[in-house]
Structure 1
C-alpha cells in the first residue's frame, strides 16, 4: 500500500465523532434502500446480523451489520455451527478473535481510532470503540462511499494509506460498545457530518468469498 496526500481535516471527524456524521432522524425512511457491495471482511466462514433501518440513530449504523466468524464443529457430532469453543467466557474462545480483517474496497484510510482496553465476553465495554474508516476510490477518485470497521485491534494501516480490496488492515477485537469479539461494518454515501448523508446496506462480494474459501475458481 502507498500513502496518499494528507486527508482533509474534516475527514478525520468520522472517527473522532465515533462514526456519528449525521443523525438518521434527519431523514425519512427511504423508498428504496441503497446498498454497497464490499470485499468480505474476513477470509473465513462468517455470519452477519443486520440492523433494521434506524435501529441506531446515526447514519453509518442505520443499516450496519455485526459479523462473526463461525465454524461447523459444534454439537454432539461436530456438525452444528458454532461461534466459540468452551463456554465462550474468554476472548480466545471465540472463532472471531484476532481474525485478520480485509479492506472492503480499493480506497483510502480516512481515520483510525484506538481503544486500548479489551472487553470481557458477556460484559459491555466502555469508551469509544476502536475503528477504521475507509473512503472508496475508483480510478483514484473518491466515490463518496465510506465504510467503517468497528471493534478492531492490531491495526496495520495508517490514516492516508491507500488500500486494495482484500488487503489486511487489522484484526477482529472486542472493545468499546461490544459484548463479544466481532466486527461491526457500517456504510454511508455522502459528505461527512452532513444531514444529506445516506446510510447504505452492506452486501458481500460472494464471488470474492468463493475465491477466498476455495469454492470458486479465480
Structure 2
C-alpha cells in the first residue's frame, strides 16, 4: 500500500514494505549470515528502473548471463560475489561486494590488506572515500541517499545510499553504499567518470561498494572490463 513520502516532491518515490535482513534488498552487508527480525523499510521506486526490488528470475538449468562493466575503482580492488540463490531481489541477486586493496610498502614489497590498524574506524580502510567510477556509458535513473554513516563492525537495518544506471540496451546497474553522490537523475555519464565516493551506510559492516545488475527480471553476473583495467592500473 502506498505511504506518504516524507520527501514528497523530491526525485525519489517510495512505498512501504518489509524484509528479512538475512535476505535484504541489495543492502547485503559484508559477510553477514545471521537472520534478524523483519523490519519496515521504505523501498524507492524509479520509472527508469522497472522491476527494481522485484524478484529475480533465473530459469532452472539456464546459463547465468553476465555483463561486462568498466572498473569500479581507479586502483586495485577485490570482490566477494553473492552466489546464485543467496539473495533473490533484482539489484542484489548475483551481485558482488567490492573493496580496495592496500598494504603495499612499495612497488615490490608488501601484501594485500583491506585496512590499516585494527579497522575499527572508517578512515582505516583503504577504500574509504575512494572515487567510485561509472560502470558504463548511460543515464542515471535512480538515486537514494542515506545520511547515516556506520562505524565498522556495526550496521544499520536501513537501505544504503545508491545510484541506479541504465544502459541503452536496458541493462540496469546498481551501486550501493556510496557517499558524496556527484550525479543526479537524468544525467548522462561515461564509463570511468567519478560519480560518488566509497562509503559505509545502510546494511553494511565496512566501507565497500555493492554492484548489482539486471535486465528485465533477469539478474546478471558482473564481469570487469580487463582491458579498461589495464589502462587504469598501468601506472601502479
**TM-score class, shorter:** 0.7 to 0.9
Matched, 1:209 2:232: no
Does 1 or 2 have the higher relative contact order (CA < 8 Å, sep 6+)?
1
Partner Cα distance (1:86, 1:30) in 2: 45
In the aligned structure 2, how far is the partner of 1:85 from the partner of 1:72?
8
- Which residue does the alignment assign to 1:148? 174
1:14 Cα deviation from its structure 2 partner: 4.5
Residue in structure 1 matching 2:127, options 70, 73, 96: 96
Moved more, 206-215 or 90-99: 206-215
CA displacement 1:29-57 (0-9 Å, x = unmatched): 45100000000010010000011012112
TM (norm. structure 2) is: 0.75
* Correspondent of 1:173 among 175, 199, 204: 199
Note the aligned Cα RMSD (angstroms).
Answer: 2.5
Alpha-carbon distance in structure 2 between the residues aligned to 1:51 and 1:45: 20
* Structure 1 runs, 4 residues or longer, greater than 3 Å off: 26-30
Separation of aligned partners in 1, 2:232 and 2:61: 34
Instruction: Please say if residues 103 and 116 of structure 2, whose CA atoms lie closer than 8 Å, have aligned partners that are also in contact.
Output: no
Work out whether residues 108 and 162 of structure 1, in 8 Å CA contact, stay in contact via their aligned partners in 2: yes
1:30/1:149 CA distance change after superposition, 3 Å? farther
Aligned residue pairs total: 192
Secondary structure, aligned partner of 2:164: strand
Counterparts of 1:33 and 1:128, CA distance in 2: 27
Offset, 1:215: 6.2
Aligned-residue offset at 1:21: 3.1
Does the CA contact (< 8 Å) of 1:106 and 1:164 recur in 2? yes
The one-character-per-residue Cα deviations of 1:5-33 (angstroms, maximum 9, x if unpaired) are xx9x89x7259x9x843113x55445100
Tell me the equivalent position of 1:21: 53
CA contact (8 A) 1:100 1:172 kept: yes
Give how far 1:60 is off. Answer: 1.9
The answer on whether the counterparts of 2:58 and 2:219 sit within 8 Å (CA) in structure 1 is no
TM-score (norm 1): 0.81
Unaligned 5+ runs, structure 1: 1-6, 138-142, 191-196
Q: Which structure carries more helix by proportion?
A: 1
Q: Which residue of 2 aligns with 1:194?
A: none
Q: Are residue 184 (structure 1) and residue 216 (structure 2) matched?
A: no
